[in-house]
Amino acid sequence: MGSPLTILHVVVNMNRGGAETFIMNLYKNIDRTKVQFDFLTFKQGVFDKEIKGMGGKVHRIPYITEVGHYHFINGLNQFMNENNHYKIVHSHMDKMSGFILKSAKRAKIPIRIAHSHNTKSEGSILARLYKNYASKHILPAATHLYACSKKAAKWLFKHEAERATILNNGIEMEKFTFSQHIRKQKRNELNLESDTIVLGHVGRFSEQKNQLFLLDVLSLLKEILPNIILIFVGDGPLRKTIENKVKKLKLEKHVKFLGVRSDIHELLQVFDVFLMPSHHEGLPLTLIEAQSAGLPCLISNKITEEVDFGGLIRFLSIKNSNEWVTEVMKLLNEKELPRKKVENDSIQQTFNIIKTANNTAYTYLNLGNKVI
């Protein structure tokens, strides 16, 4: 048997974000005797050690925020020229993929994939202008377009969105099946009473995820339900701001910060309702995981409807916290908690990581064979 086809994935860093977790799910479930992954990153990541343990390389060059535009582009060009043995570069950096793929094209790397994981850019006005400039290079430099949803494709690829391949954010579904045993065990670990109502949120602390809104919702709910707790899983630049608002609203007894965790599949068993009030999303992996655990989800109406696959999602306006309070109370009054097991063949077909990994491996190998 010959050597596997090695794909170079380009990501800012391999931390526990949605896109990065999906790439790792893909990596763990793909046939690595046929397809191997290497990574170009710009910052250290929590998955780096695991990647190396599975035979992948983690390359690193300085990011634009450290060295400025000129040195970043020079470093990128130098890296691509020195590593143009890769047949396929798969960039997951949204608008910044323009610079990555332009550099790969210069180095004559034949297959260049731009992958959209979002529906909006973050950052200051200046940062967004810079990303818009970078994005102008995507369509001239990319040979193939991927997206996690139709909405994400339309945002990044505009008039070319129709030719994008939708690559579903697959997960290991068996891990998320609801378990009363795990629910009880994990609640004990977190010192939660059996009758405590637990609202859950998983996400990076950023403007995009809009966690401050959840504190307004919680502030209203605790007046009705004194035994309610909101659990935050994640970390990020706005953590201190969120903590300050918790103190301001006197919610210390009603909020738990668990930080970045590797046991999301078990923590989802603890929650009674999952909340996601984001300003924008591509197709969030955590919502697929939450629904696989049979968990009712209240989410922003800014999130694509493509994420609703089991009737467990209710879309709400993020302009009205009272509406969220009403919907939480409705769910709790339905007395359907704890959750039922989700049995749905279409979910298995669409979001099962094994199926996604097999399809992706076939695509990579087909593309690789065309440029031998």
DSSP letter at 310 equals S
177-193: average pLDDT? 93
- Pair (148, 189) in one structural domain: no
Is pLDDT of 285 > 90?
Answer: no
Number of neighbours of residue 186 by Cβ within 10 angstroms: 18
**Backbone dihedral angles phi then psi of residue 67, each to the nearest 5 degrees:** -120, -5
Is pLDDT of 212 > 90?
Answer: yes
CA separation for the pair 114, 111 (Å, rounded): 10
174-179: average pLDDT? 87
- Pair (335, 236) in one structural domain: yes
Decide: residue 184, CB within 10 A, 0-12 exposed, 13-18 middle, 19+ buried.
Answer: middle
User: What would the pLDDT profile of 115-151 be if each residue is shown by its tens digit?
Assistant: 999 988 888 899 999 999 999 999 999 999 999 999 9
Question: The pTM is what?
Answer: 0.85
Q: Is 272 helix (H, G, I), strand (E, B) or coil?
A: coil
- Pair (63, 81) in one structural domain: yes
Q: Count how many domains the chain has.
A: 2
Q: Of 223, 368, 213, which is closest to residue 298 (Cα–Cα)?
A: 213
Q: Is residue 112 within 8 Å of residue 105, measured between CB atoms?
A: yes
213-222: average pLDDT? 97
- Pair (44, 182) in one structural domain: no
- Pair (299, 357) in one structural domain: no
Give the least confident one: 46-55, 120-129, 191-200, 345-354.
345-354
What CATH number does the domain containing 333 carry?
A: 3.40.50.2000
| pLDDT band for position 168 (cuts 50, 70, 90) | confident
Give the pLDDT of residue 102. 98
299-304: average pLDDT? 94
- Pair (165, 128) in one structural domain: yes
307-318: average pLDDT? 90
**Backbone dihedral angles phi then psi of residue 120, each to the nearest 5 degrees:** -165, 150
Query: Can you give the residue range of the structural domain that contains 218?
Result: 173-347
- Pair (187, 128) in one structural domain: no
Average pLDDT, the chain: 92
Is pLDDT of 336 > 60?
Answer: no
CA separation for the pair 246, 252 (Å, rounded): 6
- Pair (31, 177) in one structural domain: no
Is pLDDT of 335 > 60?
Answer: no
Q: Of 224, 231, 220, which is closest to residue 198 (Cα–Cα)?
A: 231
Phi-psi region for residue 203, left (φ > 0), alpha (ψ -120 to 50) or beta? left
- Pair (339, 361) in one structural domain: no
72-92: average pLDDT? 97
- Pair (70, 192) in one structural domain: no
| pLDDT band for position 171 (cuts 50, 70, 90) | confident
Give the pLDDT of residue 341. 57
Is pLDDT of 63 > 70?
Answer: yes
CA separation for the pair 123, 322 (Å, rounded): 29
- Pair (166, 177) in one structural domain: no
Is pLDDT of 346 > 80?
Answer: no
Decide: residue 247, CB within 10 A, 0-12 exposed, 13-18 middle, 19+ buried.
Answer: exposed
